[in-house]
Amino acid sequence: MQAALIPETDPALYRKALGCFATGVAVVTTVTAAGAPVGLTVNSFSSVSLEPALVLWSLRRQSSACEIFSQASCFAVNLLQSAQEDISTRFASRGAEKFEGLRIRHGLDGVPLLPDCVAAFECRTVRTHIEGDHLLFIGRVERFTLHPDTEPLIYCRGAYARRQSGVHCT
């Protein structure tokens, strides 16, 4: 067992400990004022409240998407399925062509919705909050879709896992 106090701890060890919390993987999307689609891979998504339906995700303040998401009134959370590891990798990159070749639909205020996701939540931003090096977004869910027969993509200890084969985190 390794024990460490936060101020002295090795940041890599701290990240390693946080990475033991297995999550799903989502691509959060929005549109710029000029109508260009924007999106990035996140695993900071969580539900905040059921009544009203509120969700939360957090964005690194140094992200190139920070200003766009701050100015947008809506966002969509597209929960990836197990076969969409490539989509996760694509939207975690810095490329400008993230949406190329994807059959997107347009949701609330023109927000892009990705195809073949397990679920998608279309949200109106109700609050943003700067905390440390991240910007938190709280959104009210106005519409959602669900494909109950698909398996979600799982992320744990820096690697993807699939439920069918068991969540084997290394």
Ligand X SMILES: Cc1cc2nc3c(=O)[nH]c(=O)nc-3n(C[C@H](O)[C@H](O)[C@H](O)COP(=O)(O)O)c2cc1C
Query: What residues line the site for ligand X (CB under 6 A)?
Result: 25, 40-44, 58-60, 63-65, 88, 91-92, 94, 155
Nearer to ligand X, 51 or 86 (CB): 86
Peptide bond into 115 cis (omega under 30): no
Alpha helices in the chain (DSSP H): 11-18, 66-71, 85-91
With CA atoms as reference, report the closest residue to 77 among 19, 124, 120, 42: 120
Least distance (Å) from ligand X to the CB of residue 25? 5
SS3 69: helix
Nearer to ligand X, 4 or 93 (CB): 93
Least distance (Å) from ligand X to the CB of residue 51? 25
Nearer to ligand X, 4 or 130 (CB): 130
Nearer to ligand X, 10 or 21 (CB): 21
**Cα 56 to the center of its chain, rounded Å:** 10
Least distance (Å) from ligand X to the CB of residue 24? 9
